[in-house]
Amino acid sequence: MGDSTALLGRHDALLCDLDGVIYLGNAGIPEALHVVTLAQSRGIATGFVTNNAGRSPQVVAEHLQLLGLDVDAETVITSGQAAAQQLSEMLAADSPVLVVGSDALMEAVVEAGLRPAGLDEVLANPEASGVAQGYDPDLVWSRLNDATRAVRAGACWVAANTDSTRPTDLGLMPGTGMMVNAVAAATGVEPQVAGKPNRPVFDTAVRRAAAERPIFVGDRLDTDIAGARASGITSLWVLSGSHGAHDAAVVPPEQLPDHVGLTIAAVLEDPIEVSIDMSRETGAASARARAPQGDLVQIDCSASEAAVAGVTPSSAVTALQCLVALRRAGVTTDLAAVAATIDRALSITAEEHDSQGRSMVDREVRHG
């Protein structure tokens, strides 16, 4: 492995999701802290794009600083900022906005030149008013009732994101999307969505990093990876957060990543090279790759079924890269059974990884 051939050495900016990539809950993921610091020491720009609208960029930056990272608020882009900006482009300056979210979302609305307002003012002139909805850990049901009434009356409705779950140190928990869906179900209206996978937040991150060859690291296929691909950014999907192999077997092809890694430490490795053979006549296809430890992994597909060989805990990520490569190549064979085999191996991989008490990056620092 060399710095120039590893993923990190091929890019001039490391852009990351936060929940499930850099931290889980309040706890930092050790690999992530090492990788970000290493990237900065090499002059590689870093930036963070989060769909969590519950905290301001300054609060997020302070959290990252407490974890040991040298960052400031300018490196953080939140979906709350994006939602407020989107509303400001739809409404006149100083228009009233019902904020269904945290204080951070309210601050973003003010910074965008709009005015947080109560339900009565919004209902007085709904066509000239807005509703901004984002994550709020202290949400009460009456706020959803207010949002429902405002949206039903015709107010412009922008949601910071529609993530159904959010990764935490206690496992997956309900995300903003659950609350957005409640309002949508009650009104029959779908919101405009400002955060990932929509392109503006990615464009902002690239612009702030002054990057020409960025890589984006995320744990969700439907937001992080889909958004990076739609924005023309190389993507690394990591398994330290929300999604697993079973998701990769069923999501639309445009949500599949360029690269797969157990954690963000994969940027310090050479990318996994997958060879694919396909037959137009029979519809058969195969993908094979050699894991870093030397194991050969192969997935064989007929028109109706698929099988995988060589999957062990040490080669599970390589097998998942093969699955992703087949689906990106247009293979339509049902890969659910293969994904289940990979997920079982990955669960062992994750347990071993956690029990070691050290990371790939720790070894890189000691021996590199």
Q: What is the mean pLDDT of residues 184-192?
A: 97
- Examine the residue annotation and report whether 19 is marked as an active-site residue of this protein: yes
- Examine the residue annotation and report whether 94 is marked as an active-site residue of this protein: no
The predicted-structure confidence for 230-266, as pLDDT tens digits, reads as follows 999 999 999 998 899 999 999 999 999 999 999 999 9
Alpha helices in the chain (DSSP H): 30-41, 57-66, 79-90, 103-111, 119-124, 141-153, 176-187, 199-209, 226-230, 245-248, 316-328, 336-356, 360-367
Looking at the fold, whether 156 and 233 belong to one and the same domain comes out as no
Looking at the fold, whether 87 and 151 belong to one and the same domain comes out as yes
Looking at the fold, whether 96 and 216 belong to one and the same domain comes out as no
Sequential DSSP letters for 137-181? TT--HHHHHHHHHHHHHT-EEEES---SEEEETTEEEE-HHHHHH
Looking at the fold, whether 222 and 320 belong to one and the same domain comes out as yes
The predicted-structure confidence for 59-90, as pLDDT tens digits, reads as follows 999 999 999 999 999 999 999 999 999 999 99
Q: What is the mean pLDDT of residues 126-155?
A: 96
Number of domains in the chain: 2
Looking at the fold, whether 225 and 293 belong to one and the same domain comes out as yes
Q: What is the span of the domain harbouring residue 187?
A: 79-193
Annotated catalytic residue: which of 12, 19, 270, 295?
Answer: 19
Q: What is the mean pLDDT of residues 155-179?
A: 90
Q: What is the mean pLDDT of residues 310-316?
A: 94
pTM, to two decimals: 0.84
Looking at the fold, whether 326 and 216 belong to one and the same domain comes out as yes
Q: Evaluate whether 83 touches 195 at the Cβ level (below 8 Å).
A: yes
In a domain, 363, yes or no: no
- How far is it, in rounded angstroms, from Cα 164 to Cα 213? 31
In a domain, 267, yes or no: yes
Question: Residue 29: phi, psi to the nearest 5?
Answer: -85, 115
- How far is it, in rounded angstroms, from Cα 189 to Cα 43? 46
Looking at the fold, whether 148 and 269 belong to one and the same domain comes out as no
pLDDT at 367 over 50: no
Radius of gyration in angstroms for the set of CA atoms belonging to the chain, rounded to a whole number: 22
Looking at the fold, whether 164 and 124 belong to one and the same domain comes out as yes
- How far is it, in rounded angstroms, from Cα 276 to Cα 255? 20
Q: Which of 193, 217, 232 is the last residue of a domain?
A: 193
Looking at the fold, whether 220 and 169 belong to one and the same domain comes out as no
Q: Which of 163, 193, 223 is the last residue of a domain?
A: 193
Percentage of the chain with pLDDT > 70? Answer: 94
Quickly count helices (H) and strands (E) in the chain.
Answer: 13, 19
Looking at the fold, whether 179 and 215 belong to one and the same domain comes out as no
pLDDT at residue 4, rounded to an integer: 66
Task: Mean pLDDT check: name the lowest of 103-107, 151-155, 355-359, 363-367.
Answer: 363-367
Annotated catalytic residue: which of 3, 12, 17, 295?
Answer: 17
